[in-house]
A and B are shown apart, each in its own frame.
Chain A
Amino acid sequence: MKLAFVVQRYGAGIAGGSEAHCRDLAERLSPRHDITVLTTCAKDYVTWENAFPAGPSTENGVRVLRFPVARQRRIKVFADLSDEVFDGGAPPDRQQEWFRENGPDTPGLLDHLRAHGRDYDLVLFWTYRYFQSYFGLPLVADRAVLIPTAEEDPAIDLDVLLEFFDKPAGYVFLTPEERELVSSRALHPLRHSVVAGIGLEPVPPGVTSRAPIDRLGIPADYLLYLGRVDRNKGCDALLENFQEYASTRTDVTLVLAGPAKMQIPGHPQIRALGYVPDDVRSALLAHARALVVPSWYESLSIVLLEAWNYGVPALVNGRCKVLAGQVTRANGGLYYMFPAEFDEAADYLLTRRAERDAMGRQGLAYIDREYRWPTVIARVESLLDEVYRRTSRAPRQSVSPAGAGVS
């Protein structure tokens, strides 16, 4: 099949879950399909500043076509508009404006879809919340497959999405909770869909060396938070919960590994390492007593899967349906709803070694069952085949440019 993959950013150095998912699938599907990645010249997901040269290139065997971003994101205008539309009751034109301000505003990419969208058998779009999906998908709706990466954040409640979520010919979801969420926000039952997730390579056999974290003086009993240290990720609540917990347990350390986007309190049992190199990251994951995921909003949580890949259990925020669902399905850890439950669950994982190890093993078994690349690729291929078979029998046409916006 001739496929287009539309994504907000693309490249080996790009951090970001949906971007990595797109790249992984593009590289793994490219031996069997003719794939073109349609993306922007942006590298920074906050400003969308053009950083890559526009035009065609080939990266890891995948054809990439980059379009310049016409306008960088106006952070304050976007913040005010977000407040306005998430407050509820904003008219459709203001909600559509939110998608435009969110960016990356890439008119050339839309022009390409208008002119050449029908040349592709299917067009896959990553992440519903960005400009290229919201305005691009309706142009090729009859052959569009959406990978929404939706979370239970305020954006999902925008009224204009009811109609938008009716448009794609197929869906690829990361978890059953995400499918349920998007289904509940569409006017009609979704057409074809699959819960595919992402794939992980098995950890190389043998014990991962502890030396990189010994050099940093990381003690044996530690809980690990891995990722951006940010209020939006629930880190403020985690730090409060942990400090309360640490007042009764002086032998436990919370290790934060990731760039800090908020003030981290000075505390003898909190170690903030900032960005860490791969060997330290692997050692931290392999030797943690548990990984903590305090986020309220997740469409998957790749880091949770990575912890299970190392046989390490997780302690997650139960108010996030995806995290609680993943942990329950995997039997791979515990979830908490409020501080007292955090204390009990942390204590359980730190003091009950046999149970902790069993939960880690159960998490690893879940990864082996659900999240290895051959399994994931087979699910995606089967969905693409089904959508192509069904839509190629139906009369296909692009939507006129006037229909690009969703009213």
Chain B
Amino acid sequence: MALGADARVPVDAVITELHGRVRERLRAQVLASGGSLEFEDPALFADVEALLHAAAGTPDSAKLILPELLGEPDTWRLTTSMRYQSHRSKGPASLLIFLKRQILMPMFRWLYEYSRDNFERQRRTNQVLFACVQELALETALLRRELRRQSRDPK
């Protein structure tokens, strides 16, 4: 249908339509590559996709529960910055740190930056996975609560 010259196009509606098309294409690809047959139900697939979509959109700065439960960040968090340290006494330590910073680092900066970029991607992936687990745990907790309520109040 042709639009009039003064017609308004609501962006939200168009994006919802496009998102639906992308979702259907993804569902077809998942099924074609041997994904769960449960995904033949488009509504179920949409529910799953919405849940994962929300988790994937979690910003890096978002506070999540699981990382807090893992304990001291030093024991599990990916550290992507370079720390110049030495266990030796002050004089030799200064020399070693100088050599590391001024001689070795410039030589290997390309390798350091390559590794750092990959660790950054892994850090981002971890954050998304933490968010996914949190969403799933929340859904499970809500379902359990609902089951308990129904078992107490049988119709």
Contact = CB atoms under 8 A, between A and B. Distances in A.
A396 to B, nearest CB: 35
Given A83-B116, A319-B57, A348-B14, A341 B83 contact: no
B7 A358 contact: yes
Given A334-B11, A341-B19, 5 more contacts: A83-B81, A87-B79, A333-B11, A355-B14, A359-B9
A348 B9 CA distance: 12
Interface in B34-90: 53, 56-57, 59-61, 73, 77, 79-83
A327 B12 CA distance: 10
Interface of B: 2-3, 7-12, 14-15, 18-19, 21-22, 25-26, 53, 56-57, 59-61, 73, 77, 79-83, 105-106, 109, 116
Given A348-B14, A354-B2, A84 B7 contact: no
Which of the listed residues B3, B26, B77, B116 has the most CB atoms from chain A within 10 Å of its own CB? B3
Contacts, number: 68
B26 A355 contact: no
Given A84-B83, A354-B3, A358-B7, A157 B12 contact: no
22 contacts: A80-B81, A80-B82, A83-B82, A87-B79, A87-B81, A88-B77, A89-B73, A152-B59, A152-B61, A157-B61, A328-B12, A331-B8, A331-B10, A333-B11, A334-B14, A334-B15, A340-B26, A344-B18, A345-B18, A354-B3, A358-B3, A358-B9
Contacts of A83: 80-82, 116
A337 B18 contact: no
A88 B73 contact: yes
Interface string A327-354: 1100111110100110011001000001
A152 B77 CA distance: 21
A355 B52 CA distance: 30
A362 interface: yes
Interface residues on A, range: 20 to 34
Nearest to A333: B11
A358 to B, nearest CB: 4
A348 B18 contact: yes
B11 A328 contact: yes
Contacts of A334: 11, 14-15, 18
B75 to A, nearest CB: 13
A341 B3 CA distance: 24
Contact of B11 (A88, A331, A337, A344): A331
A44 to B, nearest CB: 22
Nearest to A365: B8
Nearest to B7: A358
Interface string A265-307: 0000000000000000000000000000000000000000000
B73 A340 contact: no
A86 B9 CA distance: 41
B140 to A, nearest CB: 26
A327 B11 contact: yes
Nearest to B102: A76
Contact of B15 (A86, A89, A335): A335
Contacts of B12: 328
Contacts of A354: 2-3, 7
A359 B12 CA distance: 12
Nearest to A318: B15
Contacts of A341: 18-19, 22
Contacts of B11: 327-328, 331-334, 359
A345 B20 CA distance: 12
Given A157-B61, A345-B18, A355-B3, A87 B10 contact: no
